[in-house]
Amino acid sequence: MLKIAHRGAKAYEPENTLQAFQKALDLNSDGIELDVHLSLDGHIIVIHDETIDRTTNGKGLINDFTLAELKSFLIDEKYQIPTLNEVFDLVDKKCLINIELKGLGTANKVVSLIEEYISEKGWKYEHFIISSFDWNMLEETSSLNPNIPIGVLTEEDINIALAFAKKIKAKAIHPDFQLLNKENVHQMQEKGFLVLPWTVNSEEEIQKVKSHNVDGIISDNPDKI
């Protein structure tokens, strides 16, 4: 049962910050989940929304700012928005990293960065899983480098996600946990896919998805899993 910290250990530190990812490591998480967009100057930025409005003291689209400009905005008045390189360096192979592609153009950049960390810093493909609700970006990822593990995100039909996962030879399916029952979890697993539901936070929800025999859980509080 993989314990994967959603946007870092979001229940304890501001989401998608180095502090949240450090907290996830401190809680012995097996993995972290994070979201990425591109800055104006092409850096991979770890942030959930397409704007900085909700999580920082600034306003505007991430794509409209350079990395230097993004670094001047603060999260909770003290933390900076991290780049994906900074998160990789913090984690340093200590757990799995689930990178959710949100912003357009991220697939190519993320694949290149993963390849760099594998060839130059001793990381392995098993340290990564790329997911997205935008399945075109997953197809792009798979065609750029078929060795990178892929997780098919879905909040709709499990059967459609299963068919797509087969088509692109994904490693996992990441369903909204409310779609799951014991039968469809088994159906996905017998086709060879890991089942990693999100975002499962309460003890009651965690117990319920555990009873479906999932392979891991993406949670704001991975310590409760």
Site for ligand G3P, rule CB under 6 A: 6, 33, 35, 48, 100, 131, 153, 174, 198-199, 218
Q: With CB cut-offs between 5 and 8 Å by kind, which of ligand G3P, Ca ion, none does residue 198 bind?
A: ligand G3P
In angstroms, what is the minimal distance from the CB of 218 to ligand G3P? Answer: 5
Q: How far apart are CA 151 and CA 188, in angstroms?
A: 12
Q: How far apart are CA 14 and CA 11, in angstroms?
A: 8
Residues serving a catalytic function are 6, 48
Per-residue contact string for residues 43-62; x = within reach of Ca ion by CB under 5 A: --------------------
Per DSSP, helices labelled H in 27-157 are 67-71, 84-91, 106-121, 135-144
Neighbour count for residue 130 (Cβ, 10 Å)? 26
Among 13, 15, 100, 220, binds Ca ion (CB under 5 A): 100
Q: How far apart are CA 155 and CA 52, in angstroms?
A: 25
Of all residues in the shown chain, the one whose CB is closest to Ca ion is 100
Cβ-based burial of 137 (10 A; exposed 0-12, middle 13-18, buried ≥19): buried
CA nearest to 79, candidates 6, 7, 4: 7
Q: With CB cut-offs between 5 and 8 Å by kind, which of ligand G3P, Ca ion, none does residue 38 bind?
A: none
Give the H/E segment covering residue 214: none
Q: How far apart are CA 99 and CA 133, in angstroms?
A: 12
In angstroms, what is the minimal distance from the CB of 57 to ligand G3P? Answer: 22
Of 20-28, 93-101, 147-155, 178-186: span binding Ca ion (CB under 5 A) = 93-101
Q: Is 220 in the site for Ca ion (CB under 5 A)?
A: no
Among 35, 152, 216, 222, binds Ca ion (CB under 5 A): 35
The values of phi and psi at residue 2, to 5°, are -80, 130
In angstroms, what is the minimal distance from the CB of 156 to ligand G3P? Answer: 13
In angstroms, what is the minimal distance from the CB of 207 to ligand G3P? Answer: 20
Binding site for Ca ion (CB under 5 A): 35, 100
